């Protein structure tokens, strides 16, 4: 992998170039706004430049989206009226005073019941974080068990939830499947796609033709789902 520079008009970008045993080029914008280009090992620099120019509108759109999301995430105060993602849907946050503390979904709203001051965003966030953690564990395990069965492996990789800056999922050398907790904001088909993607690495370590053939057999529309995941979730 090498870090390259790309200039388009007044715009300047840095991207990671990863040569691989493949025929086509691919472009990915990660949630942290880093840019990754994968190319054939013998691809000349001019081919990569032409590819990036053709993809510039999509690239710029992705970067603007992730920049907006990061800004919104940073400015959240965790008070009534803000919106939060859960399984691909936006829910308006409603904070109410109550004797019993709990978090629940109802009629398109995300309710936080607190015995503290309703304007205490830090406390509200703590309640929400616990709720998200519980939902993440439950949903990920349910989806993992179902997707794993479709592969018919004779062993069960250990499922781990861990924050990652640049990946939605990973299959480690010690045969553990790691999922990014931020996936709980995505729809279930996106979660299924990431799980299936990592389980394909049990058989095929690299992203070669055999890997993508297996992935397509498990998730026929994986490219559309991948694009939706990258567009909607930061």
Which sequence spans correspond to the domains of the chain? 2-74, 76-232
Q: Please give the mean pLDDT across all residues of the chain.
A: 90
Q: By the 8 A CB rule, do 82 and 93 touch?
A: yes
Q: How are beta strands 26-29 and 35-40 bridged, if at all? A: antiparallel
Q: For residue 220, what pLDDT is reported?
A: 95
| Residues written for the chain | 234
153-157 average pLDDT score: 92
Q: Do the Cβ atoms of 29 and 69 come closer than 8 Å? A: no
Placement of tokens 């179902």 in the chain? 146
Distance CA 218, CA 64 (A): 32
CB atoms within 10 A of CB 17: 18
**Domain 76-232 is classified in which CATH homologous superfamily?**
Metalloproteases ("zincins"), catalytic domain (3.30.2010.10)
Q: What is the phi/psi pair of residue 132, to 5°?
A: -60, -40
Average the pLDDT over 6-18 and give the result.
84
pLDDT score of 156 more than 70: yes
Entry pTM: 0.70
Q: How far is CA 165 from CA 30, 34, 70, 233, in A?
A: 8, 10, 13, 13
Res 69: pLDDT = 62
Instruction: Give tens-digit pLDDT for 117-129.
Output: 999 999 999 999 9
Helix 222-232 and helix 188-200, axial crossing angle in degrees, nearest 10? 120
Q: How distant is the alpha carbon of residue 4 from its chain centre?
A: 24
Q: What per-residue confidence (pLDDT) applies to 132?
A: 97
């Amino acid at each position: 992998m090498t870090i390259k520079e790309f200039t388009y008009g007044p715009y300047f970008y840095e991207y990671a170039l990863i040569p691989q045993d493949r025929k086509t080029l691919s472009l990915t914008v990660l949630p942290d706004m880093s840019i990754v280009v994968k190319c054939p090992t013998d691809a000349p620099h001019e081919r990569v430049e032409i590819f990036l120019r053709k993809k510039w509108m999509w690239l710029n759109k992705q970067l603007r989206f992730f920049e907006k999301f990061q800004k919104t995430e940073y400015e959240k105060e965790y008070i009534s009226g803000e919106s939060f993602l859960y399984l691909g849907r936006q829910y308006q946050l409603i904070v109410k005073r109550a004797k019993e503390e709990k978090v629940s979904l109802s009629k398109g709203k995300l309710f936080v019941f607190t015995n503290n001051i309703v304007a205490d965003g830090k406390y509200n966030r703590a309640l929400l974080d616990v709720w998200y953690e519980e939902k993440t564990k439950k949903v990920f395990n349910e989806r993992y068990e179902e997707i794993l069965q479709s592969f018919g492996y004779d062993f069960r990789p250990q499922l781990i939830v861990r924050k990652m800056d640049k990946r939605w999922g990973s299959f480690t050398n010690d045969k553990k499947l790691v999922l990014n907790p931020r996936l709980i904001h995505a729809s279930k088909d996106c979660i299924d796609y990431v799980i299936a993607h990592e389980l394909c690495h049990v058989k095929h370590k690299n992203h070669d033709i055999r890997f993508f053939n297996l992935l397509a057999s498990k998730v026929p529309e994986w490219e559309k789902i991948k694009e939706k995941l990258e567009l909607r979730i930061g």
